[in-house]
Amino acid sequence: MNDKQTILDNLSSFRERNKFSTSEWEKRGLNSSDVDLYNGIQNLLNNCADNLIEATNADCTPRKIKNILKNSLDSIKSLEYDTEERELICEYFDQLSKIVSVDFKDNLNSWLYGKVLSTLLRVTSFLKGPEKFVETLSQDCTQCSSKLETFIKRKEDGIPDHSWTIIQCDNCNEFNLLSTGPNIKEYRFGNYKSIEQLPKQEYTKEQAYQRLEQIKFFRKK
């Protein structure tokens, strides 16, 4: 499968998801509020995905693709939503931007925090310098083939690999099994969420995969 087809498949998968289902809110410990309001946002996100599919098929420039994201985000009035709701909306736009490989962080920060605070965040980030990683681990999602990356910030000899981690792809919500290996002192998730850790003293690899299948069965999207 080529890169273009992978992008198209991931955009289609994003479009098909119910992005504001009750289960999505429950994962965040929140209750859904205005159903009609979120149906409108879901339609807007789906239209944005459709426009990105069209732009990808037409081999549009990254600038045009970014404008599609920007115009869609700018059409949403952030003050109509509380903090958790705005963060969820930003999370979905972030997923779209990563699918099409567009840097959209500044736009999301401006929409989420306002232009003044967003500028302060950029200045602070500049003064701190870029975040440094000593290694990046990567594996393909078993459903959508997105790269599930783990960014290693620090390593230290002698640290055992304690556990298997069941993770959930941000793009398609599929559950996958991750093992980072030994000597990992500090790391950061990429485009996935940690769902459950399984101690390796208690779970063999086969048992970890069995637990993974249980989670897939009982937490169907």
Per the CB < 8 A criterion, the answer to whether 102 and 68 are in contact is no
Please tell me whether residues 23 and 69 are part of one structural domain: yes
- For residue 142, the model assigns a pLDDT of 92
Per the CB < 8 A criterion, the answer to whether 179 and 158 are in contact is no
Q: Could you say which of 125, 157, 182 is where a domain stops?
A: 125
Mean pLDDT of 50-66: 94
Per the CB < 8 A criterion, the answer to whether 41 and 69 are in contact is no
Residue 12 CA to residue 173 CA, distance in Å, equals 13
Question: What is the average pLDDT score of the chain?
Answer: 83
* CATH code of the domain containing 116: 1.20.1480.40
- Judge whether 113 lies within some domain: yes
- For residue 140, the model assigns a pLDDT of 92
- For residue 118, the model assigns a pLDDT of 45
**Could you tell me the pLDDT band of residue 117, with boundaries at 50, 70 and 90?**
very low
Please tell me whether residues 65 and 118 are part of one structural domain: yes
- Judge whether 96 lies within some domain: yes
- For residue 40, the model assigns a pLDDT of 83
Is residue 119 predicted with pLDDT exceeding 70?
no
Question: Reduced to 3 DSSP states, what percent helix, strand and coil does the chain have, rounded to the nearest 5?
Answer: 50, 20, 30
Instruction: Look up the domain containing 74 and give its range.
Output: 3-125
Q: State whether residue 105 is helix, strand or coil.
A: helix
What's the pTM value of the predicted model, to 2 decimals? 0.59
Mean pLDDT of 24-46: 71
- Judge whether 130 lies within some domain: no
The residues that bridge with 148 in the sheet, in sequence order, are 139
> What is the Cα 148 distance to its own chain's centre?
10
Per the CB < 8 A criterion, the answer to whether 161 and 182 are in contact is yes
- For residue 190, the model assigns a pLDDT of 84
Please tell me whether residues 180 and 162 are part of one structural domain: yes
Q: Which residues contact 193 (CB under 8 A, 6 or more apart)?
A: 167, 168, 170
- For residue 79, the model assigns a pLDDT of 80
Mean pLDDT of 168-176: 88
**Could you tell me the pLDDT band of residue 19, with boundaries at 50, 70 and 90?**
confident
Is residue 25 predicted with pLDDT exceeding 70?
no
Please tell me whether residues 146 and 75 are part of one structural domain: no
Q: State whether residue 164 is helix, strand or coil.
A: strand
pLDDT in tens, 82-106: 777 888 888 899 989 989 989 998 8
> What is the Cα 79 distance to its own chain's centre?
23
- Per the structure, the count of domains in the chain is 2
Mean pLDDT of 38-59: 91
- For residue 34, the model assigns a pLDDT of 59
- For residue 18, the model assigns a pLDDT of 83
Please tell me whether residues 158 and 90 are part of one structural domain: no
For residue 85 the two structure tokens come to: 């709701």
